[in-house]
Structure 1
Amino acid sequence: METFGHVRMVIGFILSLSIAHLLKGTAKFIQHPGREKPYWIHLSWVAYIFILLVHFWWWEMPLHTIKVWTFPEYIFIISFITTFFLLCALLYPDDLKDYNGYQDYFYSRRKWFFGVLAFSFIADVVDTLIKGQLYYHHFGIEYPIRNISHFLLCLLAIRISNRTFHGALVLLFLAYEMSYVLRLYLSAG
């Protein structure tokens, strides 16, 4: 139990930094409304990543059932949560001096953003398997279909720069994630 407390603490630190980065970046639009113009697709991805972060925290609860931790499991879990911090940093850079606002920035960094996001769906499967085969299988067929389809859509998003595609994609990801979280946790009580 002591090992899990340490793992949980490190996850909490990185998760907190990730959420703080998103909140700080978003608050700039309120603090300085004339400096940078918000871009709805960018802000929608911010909302999506925020939901993923909150979901991740809940998703990691079953880690307490692991009685013996190995260093590879520990480093994997820390690396996994670090991908979310990287996504937050990609959404809100330190400055936009080299770009013409968030729209220009988002599309110039979309390959990085969707590459890291695609990786997170693969890492999610490994994370779930660390918790055990029984845990993995209790999510049914939807879980692997979700992760494979999200991974493939991220690969498409790397290649496609069409604004309509990206708008539809983020709305699809948001709607699905909200539905998935509500179905998983409201039905479980």
Structure 2
Amino acid sequence: MESLPLTDQLFPHIRIVMGMVIGLGITRILMGIAGLVQHPNRAKVSLIHILWAVSILIELVFYWWWQFALFAVHEWNFALFLFVVGYAVVLFLMAALLFPDSLAEYKGYEDFFLKRRKWFFALFGLTFVFDLIDSMVKGEAHFARFGYEYYVQTPICVALSLFAMWNGSPRFHLALVIVHLVYQASWILRLFYTFN
């Protein structure tokens, strides 16, 4: 039996590192949600915060699912490895920002989220830029699968992220996370239901 070229053997190795980082992000969110159930009176719960936790959990799962397409990449180098792991780290940091070690200096999760929104939305906007580069790395066929919507979605989402960094209105943030969840559901139904 013929062995795979070294470059084809690299991705399973890289996927282990990605999996560890994404696994830490998923764990952080699940432990945070479990903490809310275990200690509901420890801090004031927020619908905005819970919906963002669900959304970022979906993003983490998307990332893990969609990185399977990197098996088609045959030319790996350290820069590409750092990029892929860096993308996973950005997603982990968003998960970590949603569930801090302590809320002692805040009035609850909504107060924490709104006061830390600049960090959160800077990372959130960065994920769209990373995703664009990630899709280009996977090749033209992969990139073309998303069509013109991708060219519109990315700049709009980056612009909304920048606006969200400076807008402290709870109503705006609730509307934004609901729209984002609806859009995520749309992508799941239209593009992520099967892997082609």
Q: Do they superpose with TM above 0.5?
A: yes
Gaps of at least 5 residues in structure 1 are none
The one of 61, 70, 73 aligned to 1:63: 70
Whether 1:11 and 2:29 are equivalent positions in the alignment is: no
1:124-163 C-alpha deviation (Å, 9 max, x unpaired): 1011111112321221111221222111111110111111
Give the corresponding residue for 1:162.
169
Q: In the alignment, what sits opposite 1:85?
A: 92
Q: How do residues 32-181 of structure 1 correspond to structure 2 at under 5 angstroms?
A: 32-181=39-188
2:186 is the counterpart of 1:184 = no
- Matched position secondary structure for 1:155: helix
Tell me, which stretches of 5 or more residues in structure 2 are unaligned? 1-7
- In 2, Cα distance between equivalents of 1:30 and 1:134: 44
8 Å Cα contact 2:11/2:70 also seen in 1 = yes
- Amino acid in the other structure paired with 1:176: Y
Alignment partner of 2:84: what SS? helix
In 2: Cα distance, 1:109 partner to 1:42 partner: 12
Q: Give me the identity figure in percent.
A: 38
Distance 1:84 1:138 in 2: 23
| 1:134 aligned partner, one-letter code | A
Runs of 4+ residues over 6 Å off in structure 1: none
- Partner Cα distance (1:49, 1:188) in 2: 21
Q: Is the 8 A contact 2:44 2:107 kept in 1?
A: no
Shift of 1:188: 6.1
Task: Look up the equivalent residue of 2:121 and give its one-letter code.
Answer: F
